[in-house]
């Protein structure tokens, strides 16, 4: 009859021990030095520039384009003046 008796231990001490072990491991991990990454400065993408910073880039690009157009117009005027003088 002894084999029919089941062990009726409470599961709470085992659960308590596992929780305490988890807390202890977590605290130990928190005390360990973490990984430190080296940072480097990178310029902010165009999308994150403020209004004046974006305008400056756009205005510089427009200025360069207008200078190119002025040079081409000056060349066209010189060519047309040469052609008019030949007639």
Cα gap 84→78, rounded to integer Å:
10
Q: Does the pLDDT at position 69 exceed 90?
A: yes
Domain limits, the chain: 50-87
Alpha helices in 1-87 (DSSP H): 12-31, 51-86
Segment 31-54, tens digit of pLDDT: 877 767 778 888 767 667 677 777
Which percentage of the chain shows pLDDT scores above 90?
A: 38
Name the band, by pLDDT with cuts 50, 70 and 90, for residue 75. Answer: very high
N-to-C CA span, the chain = 132
């Amino acid at each position: 009859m002894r084999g029919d008796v089941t062990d009726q231990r409470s599961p709470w001490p085992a659960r308590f021990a596992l929780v305490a072990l988890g807390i202890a491991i977590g605290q130990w991990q928190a005390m360990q030095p973490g990984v430190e990454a080296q940072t480097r400065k990178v310029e902010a993408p165009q999308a994150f520039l403020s209004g004046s910073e974006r305008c400056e880039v756009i205005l510089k690009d427009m200025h360069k384009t207008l200078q190119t157009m002025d040079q081409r117009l000056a060349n066209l005027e010189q060519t047309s003046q040469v052609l008019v003088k030949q007639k």
